[in-house]
Amino acid sequence: MLQKISTDKAPAAIGPYSQGIIANGMLYASGQIPIIPSTGELETGDIIAQAKQAIENAGEILKAAGTDYEHVVKTTCFLADMADFAAFNCVYEKYFTGKPARSCVAVKQLPKNVLCEVEVIAALED
């Protein structure tokens, strides 16, 4: 049985998808970009500000599913520019202290021309 996750504390889906789906005790969250949920506006700062907002958006989906950053088993991170890798990691390591598995790639372009996008897969809490 699949359970859709939705919270107004993270950006609404901008397409035909859910913020997250729970299946077999795991949360599969859609990628989060640095949209400020309360305003719907983009965080337009540098990679540090955008990474913080994107990761916090993912955190709200984790919370809505009843889990947290410590239960994340895998992240996929997309950067608009690999030159931002070190700065992105400085933000990332403050949230994902359990060091989940991760892929991090540079892509040609991200939605709304943001600098990063973060998606997570997490186990539900015991």
Which residues have a catalytic role annotated? Answer: 104
| Beta bridge partners of residue 106, listed in sequence order | 79
Q: What are phi and psi of 70, to 5 degrees?
A: -65, -20
Q: b/e map of 23-44 (b: 16 or more CB within 10 Å)?
A: eeebbbbbbbbbbebeeeebbe
126 contacts: CB under 8 Å, gap ≥ 6: none
